[in-house]
Amino acid sequence: MTPFSLEAYQLMHDGALAFSDIEQTGIRVDTGYLKKQYASLTDQLTATEKTLWRMPEMRQWKSKFGDKTNTDSTTQLSAILFKVLDYRPTKATARGNAAVDDEVLRRIGTPFTKTILAKRKLIKVRDTYITGLLREQTDGYLHPSFNLHLVQTFRSSSDGPSFQNIPVRDPEQGGVIRQAIIPHNPTDIIAEIDYSAVEVRVAACYHQDPTMLAYLNDPTKDMHREMACECFLLEPDQVTKEIRNAAKGGFVFAEFYGSYFELVGPSLWEASVDLPLFGQTLRDWFVGKGLKTRDKFTDHIQKVERRFWEDRFPVYDQWRRDWYAAYLEQGYFDTLTGFRCQGPMRRNEVINYGVQGAAFHVLLWSMTKIHQWLKANEMESRVIGQIHDSILFNLHPDEQETVLKKARQIMCVDVRKHWPWIVTPLAVEVEAAPPGKSWGDKRRIE
């Protein structure tokens, strides 16, 4: 990615300066809490290991491998599952061997594989996250580096520690980590402002599909609920929050990012067994509707996919074709924010990178302006981090309302004035913890 305008260069220059100040400010962590969690997780891990060894599958494992038995060995686990216990492999590694990753173990779904999954989760939280935070903290503060030059999708990254890698989608793992992030002072407030669906909104600025613009401009329209109805053969009042989220991530965003029915269908089929619907599972509902096998359900998703692109978003679909064809002819493409992307890229990368890069630049511009405003007005509140599409603040209690209002003004209004190509409304969600409480105690606020 190369800036081909002074404005694009200035964005990166100002962003790097803002991140430098943010890194110096630091993020306060509760080291006492982290040490207690480490000890607690160690006890849980010991108990889980004992439970695992009492299972009948472990007798077969021990019989096969004897003194070399190692419950952390994926090679041994693969042999036990697929050669001794005769489960059918559902996924292969890059070398062609039967995979035993978390997805495969969840599909098998026995008490044995669930116990292995629990053990893996405990190890990851303790040895990756807890240990990492304790190792990187200095006098109770983290000072992660935020980088603007390392990620191929043109987003930011962080290291020392990798602050953006906190497992936000797992409430159990993420909750343990967020509980360790505390305000700088006992009365301060941890707050987070998150752009809502910013990549979808920025993508619409490229393709300007009228159906998508209608969704984004009318808050009463719900694309994800509508697609949940189509994918799962439901009426709108039958769509729960969990089912809507399954359609949102498993179908809508998967399609937007270049997946297709042969991958989307099986994935939704597997997820359906864990989604409740009126005293049964979503899988039971499919079967009752005549979609009795994964292949039949995937055939159904193929039809949904065709209507999705050909009938619902034909302009978006044509833009994807034209955008990639132009890249093949020119060898590069230019983002809406003034950067040129060139070199060998796959089709999905060509379609996605420009959107992801510009969406992050919207956040970067906003974060930089907020940071500059806080400094210029000598506010005690500070930006302390950036995670994906959100900005993390340490707020002085007397400044909370003023700062959050200003941040929303910059993120939703001012950035659109700066970049007139933003033809879609921008929206943010705000979460804040009570004074003195941790990031894990945050709640949504208006």
The 3-class secondary structure across 203-230, one letter per residue, is: HHHHHCCHHHHHHHHCCCCCHHHHHHHH
For residue range 164-191, list pLDDT tens digits in order.
Answer: 887 666 666 778 889 999 999 999 999 9
| pLDDT over 70 at 112, yes or no | yes
DSSP 142: E
Residues of the chain with CATH 3.30.70.370: 2-29+144-200+355-445
User: How far out from the chain centre does Cα 406 lie?
Assistant: 26
Q: What is the mean pLDDT of the chain?
A: 94
Average pLDDT over residues 349-366: 96
| pLDDT over 90 at 155, yes or no | no
- How many CB atoms lie under 10 A from the CB of residue 350? 20
Tell me what pLDDT residue 154 has: 78
In this structure, whether the domain defined by 2-29+144-200+355-445 belongs to CATH 3.40.50.300 is answered with no
Tell me what pLDDT residue 168 has: 61
Among the residue ranges 49-63, 173-187, 401-415, the one predicted with the least confidence is 173-187
User: How far out from the chain centre does Cα 384 lie?
Assistant: 20
Name the residue among 108, 113, 140 with its Cα closest to residue 35: 140
For residue range 13-26, list pLDDT tens digits in order.
Answer: 999 999 999 999 99
Q: Considering the domain 33-136 in this protein, what is its CATH number?
A: 1.20.1060.10
| pLDDT over 90 at 305, yes or no | yes
CA 129/CA 123 separation, integer angstroms = 9
Residues of the chain with CATH 1.20.1060.10: 33-136
3-state secondary structure of 3: strand
C-alpha angle 369/374/380, rounded to 5°?
155
CA 79/CA 229 separation, integer angstroms = 41
Residues 6+ positions from 151 with CB-CB distance below 8 Å: 157
| Torsion sign across C-alpha atoms 152, 158, 160, 164 | negative
CA 433/CA 418 separation, integer angstroms = 31
Tell me what pLDDT residue 68 has: 95
**Whole-Å CA distances, 69 to 45, 90, 99, 127:** 18, 24, 19, 22
3-state secondary structure of 50: helix
- Peptide bond just before 161 cis, omega within 30 deg: yes
| pLDDT over 90 at 37, yes or no | yes
Name the residue among 86, 87, 91, 84 with its Cα closest to residue 69: 84
Among the residue ranges 110-119, 200-209, 266-275, 375-384, the one predicted with the least confidence is 266-275
Residues 6+ positions from 404 with CB-CB distance below 8 Å: 191, 193, 395, 430, 432
Instruction: Report the interhelical angle of 314-330 vs 347-376 (nearest 10°).
Output: 100
Residues 6+ positions from 445 with CB-CB distance below 8 Å: 430, 431, 432
**Whole-Å CA distances, 95 to 232, 408, 440:** 35, 49, 40
DSSP sequence for 395-412: E-GGGHHHHHHHHHHIII
| Amino acid identity, position 64 | K
Name the residue among 298, 25, 412, 316 with its Cα closest to residue 184: 25
Contact 106, 112 (CB under 8 A): no
Residue 422 tokens read as 């933003």
| pLDDT over 80 at 106, yes or no | yes
Provide, for the chain, the percentages of residues in helix, strand and coil under a 3-state DSSP scheme, each rounded to the nearest 5.
60, 10, 30
Residue 240 tokens read as 């729960």
